[in-house]
Structure formats: structure tokens, C-alpha cells
């Protein structure tokens, strides 16, 4: 025979379990901006989609970080940024988007954009280490982008037409 105390505990545990399940489901619902798309070989990637009204905020936030020191693996203004850490920080703060801290993985969750259709807030990718998608920045218009380029450097604006970046340009991608 169940005592009233055991019955209350069982109900409490049931309610707690139900609350945890609902919290997990709510957490999954916050990723509603992710879309699946099939790739060759059966590989599936998820594309993140962000409201295009946030484009200017992305650019302004990135420009607000100009001068922040470069740090390999860095992902905050206090400690410094590498290129993917900069992008990760900006998009998390502006659009609450959880991006990987890896340029090639960011390329996988974004969609290609022709260079002629580049818009503010899009990504530009470069092959700087003899490896595809080894560097990236945030396009801010007029052929310029914000990036965290190298050890000893700082977050800065560069031109797509600069001799260094022009010959290493890999393509553009977007989340918008």
C-alpha cells in the first residue's frame, strides 16, 4: 500500500521529469532557423537562416570590434579573436545564432552567394593556408570586409581587391 508521502514524491518526480522534457523540447524549438538540405553521398547539413533585418547590426557589431587583438582560438573581445571566433561572437550577439568555431564548418551551415550578389553581413572566404575555407570575414559593403587576420594583428577592415586577398578569394556565403 502506497503511503501519502510516497505518492506525493512520485507525483513530484513525475512533474519534474515532465518539466525537464518540456525544457528540452523548448530548447530544440529555438533552433527553428535551421534547415536541412541533402548533400551528395547522403550527408546532411543544416543551414542556419537569420532574419535579413539583422544585416546592418551584424556589420556594425563587427566594426565595433575593430582594433581587438588577434588570438588563435580566441572568441571574445577581452581575450582576442581568430577569424571564426570573431564571426561566432558577432552572430551570437546580434542574432543569437550558435555557429561553430571553425571556418569550414561555418561554410557548411551557410549558403553560397555569387560575388556579384554580396550583401552586408555575408561571409567572404579565403584560402590562406593552402586549405579551402581557411580564413573568413564579414562583408560590410563597397568591396570591404571585417576580419581577424593573423598572429600579432588585430581585427581590421580589408579590401577584397587587395593583392593578398584577391588571389586567395574562395567565395561568399550567407545566413540571410
Instruction: Give me the catalytic one of 83, 93, 102, 127.
Output: 83
Instruction: Give me the catalytic one of 47, 56, 135, 154.
Output: 135
Nearest CA-CA partner of 118 in 98, 133, 137: 137
CA distances (Å), 98 to each of 43, 92, 151, 172, in order?
21, 6, 25, 19
Asked about 96 being catalytic, the answer comes back as no
Asked about 154 being catalytic, the answer comes back as no
Instruction: Give me the catalytic one of 96, 102, 147, 154.
Output: 147
Q: How many Å apart are CA 144 and CA 46, to the nearest integer?
A: 28
Asked about 83 being catalytic, the answer comes back as yes
CB half-sphere exposure, 18, CA atoms < 13 A: 6
Q: Where in the sequence numbering do the catalytic residues fall? A: 83, 135, 147
Amino acid at each position: 500500500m502506497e503511503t501519502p508521502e510516497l505518492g506525493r514524491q512520485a507525483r513530484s518526480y513525475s512533474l519534474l521529469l515532465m518539466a525537464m522534457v518540456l525544457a528540452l523540447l523548448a530548447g530544440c524549438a529555438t533552433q527553428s532557423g535551421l534547415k536541412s538540405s541533402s548533400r551528395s553521398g547522403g550527408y546532411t547539413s543544416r543551414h542556419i537562416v537569420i532574419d535579413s533585418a539583422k544585416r546592418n547590426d551584424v556589420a556594425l557589431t563587427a566594426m565595433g570590434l575593430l582594433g581587438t587583438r588577434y588570438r588563435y582560438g580566441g572568441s571574445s573581445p577581452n581575450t582576442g579573436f581568430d577569424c571564426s571566433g570573431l564571426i561566432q561572437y558577432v552572430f551570437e550577439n546580434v542574432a543569437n545564432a550558435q555557429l561553430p568555431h571553425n571556418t569550414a564548418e561555418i561554410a557548411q551551415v551557410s549558403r553560397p552567394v555569387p560575388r556579384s550578389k554580396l550583401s552586408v553581413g555575408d561571409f567572404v572566404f579565403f584560402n590562406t593556408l593552402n586549405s579551402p575555407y581557411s580564413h573568413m570575414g564579414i562583408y560590410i559593403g563597397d568591396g570591404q570586409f571585417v576580419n581577424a587576420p593573423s598572429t600579432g594583428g588585430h581585427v581590421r577592415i580589408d579590401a577584397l581587391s587587395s593583392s593578398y586577398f584577391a588571389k586567395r578569394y574562395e567565395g561568399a556565403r550567407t545566413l540571410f
